[in-house]
Amino acid sequence: MPLCRLSLRCLSWGSESVSTQTHHVDLRYTKAELLLIFDQAIKEDVDRGGHYDCRGGAIHIWSHPWTTAAARYDSATIGALYVNWLEERIDQIETDESFDLADLLHELAILEDKALGETKHGVYRW
C-alpha cells in the first residue's frame, strides 16, 4: 500500500462540528478504470438505494441509502474519494469522524470489484 500523509480539519455541519481527516494517497488507475468506477458509483447513487454521491472529482460515501425520509435523516457520510483526473489517480481519501482509512479502503474494494471485476487498491476488511 502506498504511503500516505495525514491532515486534520474541522468542518461545521449545521450547528454540529464535524471532524475529518484527509489522507494523501497515490492510487493510480487508467482513465478508463476511473470512468468505470465513477459510472458504478453513479448507478449506486444514494438517492437510488446505493451508498454513493458523485460530485465533480469526488465520490462521497454514505452510511445508508436514502430509501426513506428516516433513512436519509439517519444517514451520514463516512468519507470521500478525491480523483485527480489529470494524473489519473485518487490522491486524497477523506474520512469523517468515527471512520478510518481502512473503512474507506474497504468501500473502495467493494466499488472496484463491482466496476472493474477485481480489486486494485481497495482492501477488504473482512
Note the pLDDT tens digit of each residue in 1-32: 444 444 444 444 444 556 889 999 999 999 99
Q: Dump pLDDT digits (tens) for 51-75.
A: 999 988 999 999 888 888 888 888 8
Collapsing DSSP to helix, strand or coil, 65 comes out as: coil
Per-residue confidence (pLDDT) for residue 18, from 0 to 100: 60
Instruction: Report how far residue 3's alpha carbon sits from residue 77's, in angstroms, rounded to the nearest whole number.
Output: 24
% of the chain surpassing 90 pLDDT: 66
pLDDT of residue 108: 97
Look at residue 68 in the predicted model and tell me its pLDDT.
Answer: 83
**Which are the contacts of 67, defined by CB distance < 8 A and separation ≥ 6?**
49
| Cα 36 from Cα 17, distance rounded (Å) | 34
**Average of pLDDT values for 104-119?**
97
Q: Which cell is 84 given?
A: 485527480
> pLDDT value at position 109?
98
Q: Give me the mean pLDDT over the 75-83 stretch.
A: 94
In the predicted model, what is the mean pLDDT of the chain? 87
What is the per-residue pLDDT for 12? 42
Model pLDDT, residue 126: 81
More confident residue, 87 or 75: 87
